[in-house]
């Protein structure tokens, strides 16, 4: 059992973090990779140019938070895919396939299947009811102060965990790829993201995301084609060779030990699937399109790009097994037994070199860094919106605040979040970032998702139910994760006996608890306010279904 937990932690960390193993098995810096640095510099210049252009167009709060509502479904689909295809997906899943084979595909599928659910149940009502943040939707007919406070807490907790993971990952990736010191790397990421978000708001963040998603899709496609080309486009031949050269041989076709425990498998599946539907930076993207029809198209394109991308990572992982695994030049000291240069998450980068030389490696490395930068920008904007739009404007000022002041609060928050992110990135340099991402998904699935879904679909939900349910899910997810071996033993360094929660993810307990509390504390709520809230559901439902009265796209 202990071994099972250990291997499941290891596997989860690889899959979720992309950079989890850096701290443990980082190789000494390999010196500056000029190809990567130049390509990345071009990306930064281009995106700063876009930020300047976006800043000219960012006049109102709607421009700042929702790109004026003028993004098309296709563009938004790409931007969502960009938010979702983090370095964790690209480096982490290909690394997981490289080390364990088939197991990587289980993660890919879990990350993808949340999207159809978002489409069928949430995308259109979300667009029709919301303005800037998902708290707009959750508090549509409920009391603004408690519900926004709850939603903002859920947002900030999710964003913080995700942000730590990305900052630490970024620092380690840059340290390894470009030969820059960790601190310099983290500060660089923090400063760039603050510039994008404060000046360019959602318009700049969206276009940075679109460019990065396009680059990542092109890069991954090229690599997959080059891998398949080496086998005359015979996928079977690639698999046969992979089974032959991988140390585990035919076992790489098995699901792997980490999901051998059914509760862990199902719990992880729930966190991945429903967490997607509760990630605040993803939900926010639905308000950047003009109407429900474009929201629908966004999900279709996002699902298509993400699905395609995961198929590529599978091919890339198997390609790395064959082309990187047995090749001594990619291993520490030229010795295969000593592990990969740069750590366990580097197979995709080495594979780029194997199939396309230094230039390809530079390109893929630059794309990986651009990916992290774009994802942290989206996260920061989402966190800043929760603070300025939900906490500052609604909870503290009760809506008595003008737009300009609200946007100013958002910009100040962005700078603060940038500093916080840098500090956290430095403080948590050695942390297992996998659990941060896992926790982010679990919190999103347990706090944000149940309240959001019920507020849109269930007439009976009251403020009391949503407040208690949301916090119950949030607290339960965080507490169970702290007492799991991944945090208790691996991060806090405490004795194994204290880690009484043995599963990979808390979602199987925390998510149903949230739904149960929402339900119970709503039906037992006999207050006059509660009956007004139930009565207000009909008008909300009509708007959510027809879009009558919904936010329009800004004209410009």
Applying CB under 8 A, the residues found at the interface with another protein are 102, 105-106, 108-110, 112-113, 115-117, 119-121, 124, 235-236, 239-240, 242-243, 250-251, 253-255, 259-262, 265-266, 269, 273, 293, 296-297, 299-300, 303-304, 307, 310-311, 314, 538-539, 541-543, 545-549
Nearest to 196 by CA among 184, 209, 187, 186: 209
Helix/strand/coil for 71: strand
553 Cβ neighbours under 8 A, 6+ residues apart: 68, 69, 70, 289, 290, 291
HSE, side-chain direction, 13 A CA sphere, residue 488: 20
C-alpha pair distances (Å), 217 with each of 374, 377, 465: 14, 19, 43
CB closer to another protein out of 123 and 284: 123
CB closer to another protein out of 115 and 428: 115
Minimum distance from residue 15 beta carbon to another protein (Å): 14
Rounded to an integer, what distance in angstroms lies between the CA atom of residue 161 and that of residue 42? 30
Minimum distance from residue 363 beta carbon to another protein (Å): 26
Rounded to an integer, what distance in angstroms lies between the CA atom of residue 6 and that of residue 486? 9
CB closer to another protein out of 236 and 495: 236
Minimum distance from residue 495 beta carbon to another protein (Å): 29
CB closer to another protein out of 6 and 296: 296
Q: Please, are residues 466 and 454 in contact by the beta-carbon 8 Å criterion?
A: yes
Q: What is the DSSP string of 151-194?
A: HHHHHHHHHHHHHHHHHHHHHHHHHHHH---HHHHHHHHHHHHH
Minimum distance from residue 4 beta carbon to another protein (Å): 13
Rounded to an integer, what distance in angstroms lies between the CA atom of residue 553 and that of residue 556? 9
CB closer to another protein out of 116 and 181: 116
CB closer to another protein out of 59 and 459: 459
Q: Please, are residues 444 and 279 in contact by the beta-carbon 8 Å criterion?
A: yes
Minimum distance from residue 121 beta carbon to another protein (Å): 6
Minimum distance from residue 482 beta carbon to another protein (Å): 25
CB closer to another protein out of 402 and 538: 538
Question: Tokens representing 175?
Answer: 């340290």
CB closer to another protein out of 138 and 295: 295
Query: Cα 453 to chain center, whole Å?
Result: 20
Minimum distance from residue 238 beta carbon to another protein (Å): 9
Cβ neighbours, 10 Å, residue 357:
11
CB closer to another protein out of 153 and 298: 298
Minimum distance from residue 445 beta carbon to another protein (Å): 14
Rounded to an integer, what distance in angstroms lies between the CA atom of residue 375 and that of residue 378? 5
Minimum distance from residue 214 beta carbon to another protein (Å): 19
CA–CA–CA angle 145, 146, 152 (5° rounding): 90
CB closer to another protein out of 69 and 125: 125
Helical spans, DSSP H, in 292-429: 292-323, 347-385, 403-427
Rounded to an integer, what distance in angstroms lies between the CA atom of residue 63 and that of residue 206? 12
Minimum distance from residue 45 beta carbon to another protein (Å): 35
């Amino acid at each position: 059992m202990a071994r099972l937990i250990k291997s499941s932690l290891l596997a989860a960390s690889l899959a979720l973090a992309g950079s989890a193993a850096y701290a443990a098995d980082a190789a000494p810096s390999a010196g500056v990779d000029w190809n990567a640095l130049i390509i990345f510099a071009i990306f930064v210049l281009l995106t700063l140019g876009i930020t300047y252009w976006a800043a000219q167009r960012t006049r109102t709060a709607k421009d700042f938070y929702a790109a004026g509502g003028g993004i098309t479904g296709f563009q938004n689909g790409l931007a969502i895919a960009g938010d979702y295809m983090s370095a964790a997906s690209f480096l982490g899943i290909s690394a997981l396939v490289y080390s364990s084979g088939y197991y990587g595909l289980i993660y890919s599928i879990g990350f993808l299947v949340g999207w159809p659910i978002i489409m069928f149940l949430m995308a259109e009502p979300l667009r029709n009811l919301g303005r800037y943040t998902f708290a707009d939707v959750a508090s549509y007919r409920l009391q603004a102060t408690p519900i926004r406070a709850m939603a903002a807490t859920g947002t900030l907790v999710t964003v913080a965990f995700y942000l730590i993971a990305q900052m630490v990952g970024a620092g380690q990736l840059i340290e390894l790829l470009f030969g820059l010191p960790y601190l310099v790397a983290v500060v660089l990421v923090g400063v760039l993201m603050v510039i994008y978000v404060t000046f360019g708001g959602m318009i700049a963040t969206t276009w940075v995301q679109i460019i990065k998603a396009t680059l990542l899709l092109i890069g991954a496609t090229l690599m997959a084609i080059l891998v398949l080309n080496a086998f005359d486009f015979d996928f079977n031949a690639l698999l046969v060779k992979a089974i032959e050269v991988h140390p585990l041989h035919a076992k790489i076709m098995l699901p792997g030990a980490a999901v051998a425990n059914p509760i862990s498998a199902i719990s992880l599946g729930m966190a991945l699937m429903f967490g997607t539907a509760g990630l605040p930076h993803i939900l926010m993207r639905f308000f950047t399109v003009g109407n429900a029809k474009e929201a629908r198209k966004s999900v279709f394109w996002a699902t298509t790009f993400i699905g395609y991308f995961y198929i590529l990572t599978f091919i890339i992982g198997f390609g790395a097994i064959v082309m990187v695994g047995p090749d001594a030049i990619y291993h520490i000291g030229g010795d295969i037994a000593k592990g990969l240069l740069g750590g366990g998450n580097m197979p995709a980068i080495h594979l780029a070199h194997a199939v396309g030389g230094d230039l390809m490696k530079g390109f893929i490395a630059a794309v990986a860094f651009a990916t992290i930068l774009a994802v942290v920008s989206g996260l920061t904007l989402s966190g800043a919106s929760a603070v300025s739009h939900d906490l500052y404007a609604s909870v503290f000022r009760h809506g008595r605040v003008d737009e300009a002041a609200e946007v100013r609060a958002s910009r100040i928050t962005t700078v603060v979040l940038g500093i916080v992110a840098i500090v956290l990135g430095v403080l948590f340099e050695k942390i297992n970032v996998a659990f941060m991402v896992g926790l982010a998904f679990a919190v999103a699935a347990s706090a944000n998702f149940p309240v959001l879904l019920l507020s849109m679909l269930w007439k009976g939900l009251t403020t009391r139910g949503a407040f208690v349910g949301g916090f119950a899910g949030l607290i339960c997810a965080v507490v169970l994760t702290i007492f799991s071996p991944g945090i208790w033993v691996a991060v806090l360094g405490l004795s194994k006996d204290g880690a009484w929660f043995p599963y990979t993810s808390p979602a199987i307990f925390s998510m149903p608890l949230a739904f149960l509390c929402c339900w119970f504390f709503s039906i037992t709520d006999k207050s006059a306010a509660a009956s007004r809230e139930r009565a207000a559901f009909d008008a909300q439902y009509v708007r959510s279904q027809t879009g009558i009265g919904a936010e329009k796209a800004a004209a410009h």
